[in-house]
């Protein structure tokens, strides 16, 4: 018989580890309460499909995710995946920022082995809690040959998504995650892990970003576009020392006349400016709504503002050249 895969579950908190006052509490519960051993014990079926080990890396609601937690988590994932006795890693995580942690890891994990991030929309104490089956499916994916080399995966509700492209698209439904027009990579159904496509943007082993020697990441912030927008927040962020600004513009990354001079001034001070869009689908075109060549700005391609922020932080650890950084936005 084939041996069971060795899967390490790294727990970080979130609603999957949340508890509520009663079985009908699906809002107003407390996230990040149950430890990793409790999560594993709640799904005895795991023992039949993998040799699972658990580690509590930290215990937070994922709205509190930050760069320091990311560096700690990524280093731990890389250490584990370098071990011969680890076949894959599952990370339990809050859903609010699961897509950001996923993309960060997609850019800095140095292994082909599966990394699957999983969460839940309902706390562990709720009727029809989605965490246990989501965790079971995540362990199946992490132990599968099919998931090798696919980059970091975000898996909930039987759907498998590429970390680069997925976004939370519903505040509370268990069917909360969407990759939009680019589509899911696959499904888990009845214990079968099935893929239909593979991400082709650079990730994990092909990535040139390396956090192994980093203790911090450069400050990059986001300004959000809307009618009647002003430059107050932008100026405050630049004054506070931002090295990069992601502009989450309306439409195809358009810049309001009230804001554009602020971005130009920021760039002249050395701040890297990335034009992204609040729309959520489609490419932000270079030299479209703004002349990026002239302004020395970068266009975000299809990355959402929160994902563009991550790539820009990592890019700034290696370069401050706009052309190089634009190239990376086309490659990752």
Ligand X SMILES: NC(=O)C[C@H](N)C(=O)O
Q: Which residues are known catalytic residues? A: 15, 95
Among 10, 11, 14, 303, binds ligand X (CB under 6 A): 14
Residue whose CB is less far from ligand X, 95 or 161? 95
Is residue 53 exposed (0-12), middle (13-18) or buried (19+ Cβ within 10 Å)? middle
Side by side, the strands of the sheet bearing 244-249 are: 220-224, 244-249, 272-277, 298-299
The single residue among 50, 88, 92, 96 that binds ligand X, judged by CB under 6 A, is 96
Please report whether residue 225 would count as binding ligand X according to CB under 6 A: no
- How big is the site for ligand X, counted in residues (CB under 6 A)? 11
Minimum CB distance to ligand X, residue 62 (Å): 3
Spatial separation of the C-alpha atoms in residues 301 and 276, rounded to whole Å: 7
Which of these ranges, 58-66, 220-228, 268-276, 311-319, lies near ligand X under the rule CB under 6 A?
58-66
Tell me if 253 contacts ligand X by CB under 6 A: no
* Contacts (Cβ under 8 Å, ≥6 apart) of 40: 9, 46, 52, 54
Closest to 282 in 3D by CA, of 180, 177, 169 = 180
Tell me the window of 42-50, 94-102, 185-193, 291-299 that interacts with ligand X (CB under 6 A). 94-102
Query: How does DSSP assign 46-94, residue by residue?
Result: HHHH-EEEEEEEEEE-GGG--HHHHHHHHHHHHHHHTSTT--EEEEE--
Nearest-5° Cα angle at 118, 213 to 171: 110
The piece of 88-96, 133-141, 158-166, 262-270 that touches ligand X (CB under 6 A) is 88-96
**Does 138 sit near ligand X (CB under 6 A)?**
no
Nearest residue (CB) to ligand X, 87 versus 96: 96
The region of 93-101, 155-163, 203-211, 301-309 touching ligand X under the rule CB under 6 A is 93-101
Q: Which is nearer to ligand X, 154 or 229 (CB)?
A: 154
- Min dist CB 211 to ligand X, Å, is 23
CB of 176 to ligand X, least distance (A): 8
The C-alpha atoms of residue 57 and residue 202 are separated, in whole angstroms, by: 27
Q: How far is residue 259's CA from residue 322's CA, in Å, rounded to a whole number?
A: 20
CB 217 within 8 A of CB 171: no
- Here's the x/- map for ligand X, 111-130, by CB under 6 A: it reads as --------x-x---------
Asked whether position 62 contacts ligand X by CB under 6 A, the answer is yes
Q: Which of 37, 45, 55, 63 binds ligand X (CB under 6 A)?
A: 63
Residues from 260 through 289 that contact ligand X (CB under 6 A): none
- For residue 117, what are the β-bridge partners? 91, 154
By the rule CB under 6 A, 94 interacts with ligand X: yes
Within the chain, residue ranges assigned H as helices are 36-41, 46-49, 67-81, 98-108, 131-142, 232-239, 260-268, 292-295, 305-316, 322-331
Per-residue buried b or exposed e for 299-321, using 16+ beta carbons within 10 Å of the residue's own CB: bbbbbbbbbbbbbbbbbbeeeee
Establish if 31 lies at the interface with ligand X (CB under 6 A).
yes
Taking the least distance from each CB to ligand X, the nearer of 63 and 181 is: 63
Residue 61 binding ligand X, by CB under 6 A: yes
The residue at minimum Cβ distance from ligand X is 94
The residues that touch ligand X, with contacts defined as CB under 6 A, are 14-15, 31, 61-63, 94-96, 119, 121
């Amino acid at each position: 018989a084939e041996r069971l895969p060795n899967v390490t579950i790294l727990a970080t908190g979130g609603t999957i580890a949340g508890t509520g006052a009663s079985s009908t509490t699906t809002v107003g519960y407390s996230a990040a309460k149950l430890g990793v051993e409790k999560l594993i014990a709640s799904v005895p079926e795991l023992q039949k499909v993998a040799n699972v080990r658990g580690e509590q890396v930290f215990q937070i609601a994922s709205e509190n995710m930050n760069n320091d937690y990311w560096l700690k988590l990524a280093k731990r994932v890389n250490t584990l995946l370098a071990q011969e006795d680890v076949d894959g890693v599952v990370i339990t995580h809050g859903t609010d920022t699961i897509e950001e942690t996923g993309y960060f890891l997609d850019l800095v994990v140095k292994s082909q082995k599966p990394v699957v991030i999983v969460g839940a929309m309902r706390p562990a104490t709720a009727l029809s809690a989605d965490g246990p089956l989501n965790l079971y499916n995540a362990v199946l994916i992490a132990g599968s040959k099919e998931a090798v080399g696919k980059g970091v995966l975000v898996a909930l509700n039987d759907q498998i998504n590429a970390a680069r492209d997925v976004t939370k698209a519903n505040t509370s439904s268990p069917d909360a995650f969407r990759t939009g027009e680019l589509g899911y990579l696959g499904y888990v159904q009845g214990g079968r892990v099935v893929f239909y496509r593979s991400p082709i943007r650079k990730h994990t082993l092909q990535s040139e970003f390396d956090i192994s020697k980093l203790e911090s990441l450069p400050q990059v912030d986001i300004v959000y576009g809307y009618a009647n927008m002003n430059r107050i927040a932008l100026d405050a962020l630049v004054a506070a020392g931002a090295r990069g600004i992601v502009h989450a513009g309306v439409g195809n990354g358009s810049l309001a006349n009230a804001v554009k001079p602020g971005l130009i001034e920021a760039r002249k001070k050395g701040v890297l400016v990335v034009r992204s869009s609040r729309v959520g689908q489609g490419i932000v075109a270079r030299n479209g709504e703004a002349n990026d060549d002239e302004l020395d700005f970068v266009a975000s391609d299809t990355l959402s503002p929160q994902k563009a922020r991550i790539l820009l932080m990592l890019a700034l650890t290696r370069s401050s050249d706009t052309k190089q950084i634009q190239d990376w936005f086309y490659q990752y």
